[in-house]
Amino acid sequence: MVELIQGVSQFLMSVFAAGSIQTSAEVNQLQQSELPLQQRIPGGVAIVPIGYGLKQPKASFNNNPLMVLRPDEQKPWQAVVGIPLGQAPGNAEIKVGNKTYRFEVKDFAYKEQRLTVNKKHVSLSKENLQRVTQEKKQITQAFKTFSKDRSYSPFAWPLAGQVSSPFGLKRFFNDKPRKPHSGLDIAAATGTPILAPADGKVILTGDFFFNGNSVFVDHGQGLISMYCHLNSIEVKNGESVTAGDRLGTVGATGRVTGPHLHWSVSLNNARVNPLLLMAPLQGVASLADKEK
């Protein structure tokens, strides 16, 4: 445990020291990290060039406004498109004014997972069904938040731990098919602090039927992160947070089989693989090592 904690603090120090980077190799990494990683699959992210111009263009996908970034002035503006897990493979298009830009979504075979859970969380009573319907509205509203005034910076891990369930798994609860896993599960002991992976603003907190104690953070331009099953919530609605601030602690509230953090990341109201939003070395390393 002590080793793990030391590992965490070293890791976090390396993340938060990024502002004072000196060598050219490291500067290069910083530049690369100014856009999310691209993976044009359901649950992935497409980076689509949408032209030059002084003014940031407004782009949309399925009527949801898109994040638009231009880390390099010599290159065009880039629309950052979250691709929903339910997106059919094939051509997809985004709208920029009266123009249309197309990109291809490739098929991807996510793995299957079968879980046994408490019956009350599979076959819902009328009362619980009403509760879930009400909560779903709140959650969707949070994911649809679009604030223009923030710039993108890549995520750090909200805590250190094993990825116990990767993003995108096709899930079966008590043999009944359910929606695919729209987040990343990180196993950790109850009480482990959860840290904001980037600057943002808390836009929703509460105790939800499936997700338990949850926190939603708006990172700007439609990029929202969600933390579920918390033991304690340590932030308030409307509060601004800086990367590394405590959001709460790991717990086992809501529909769970043990203590872990369920971490969802949403772009333009599409839940995407959180690893694509992480600083490149962290994301790539974990894609290779942690999802096995």
For residue 99, the cross-strand partners are: 96
Beta carbon of residue 183, minimum distance to Zn ion (angstroms, whole number): 5
Nearer to Zn ion (CB atom), residue 219 or residue 262: 262
Beta carbon of residue 228, minimum distance to Zn ion (angstroms, whole number): 7
Q: Token pair for residue 247? A: 């959001």
Nearer to Zn ion (CB atom), residue 75 or residue 178: 178
Nearer to Zn ion (CB atom), residue 14 or residue 118: 118
Cβ(62)–Cβ(94) under 8 Å?
A: no
Beta carbon of residue 181, minimum distance to Zn ion (angstroms, whole number): 6
**Cα(240)–Cα(18) distance, rounded to whole angstroms?**
21
Name the residue with the smallest CB distance to Zn ion.
Answer: 262
Beta carbon of residue 60, minimum distance to Zn ion (angstroms, whole number): 29
Nearer to Zn ion (CB atom), residue 185 or residue 245: 185
**Binding region for Zn ion (CB under 5 A):** 183, 185, 262
Q: What distances in angstroms separate CA 130 from CA 117, 137, 142, one per listed residue? A: 20, 11, 19
**Cα(153)–Cα(245) distance, rounded to whole angstroms?**
15
Beta carbon of residue 171, minimum distance to Zn ion (angstroms, whole number): 9
What are the helix and strand counts (H, E) for the chain?
4, 20
Q: What distances in angstroms separate CA 36 from CA 225, 253, 254, one per listed residue? A: 14, 31, 31
**Cα(181)–Cα(65) distance, rounded to whole angstroms?**
24
Nearer to Zn ion (CB atom), residue 82 or residue 183: 183
12 burial via Cβ count (<10 Å: 0-12, 13-18, 19+) = middle
**Cα(269)–Cα(36) distance, rounded to whole angstroms?**
16
Nearer to Zn ion (CB atom), residue 178 or residue 246: 178
Nearer to Zn ion (CB atom), residue 158 or residue 183: 183
Beta carbon of residue 17, minimum distance to Zn ion (angstroms, whole number): 30
**Cα(224)–Cα(150) distance, rounded to whole angstroms?**
12
Q: What is the CA radius of gyration of the chain?
A: 19
Beta carbon of residue 133, minimum distance to Zn ion (angstroms, whole number): 21
For residue 61, the cross-strand partners are: 64
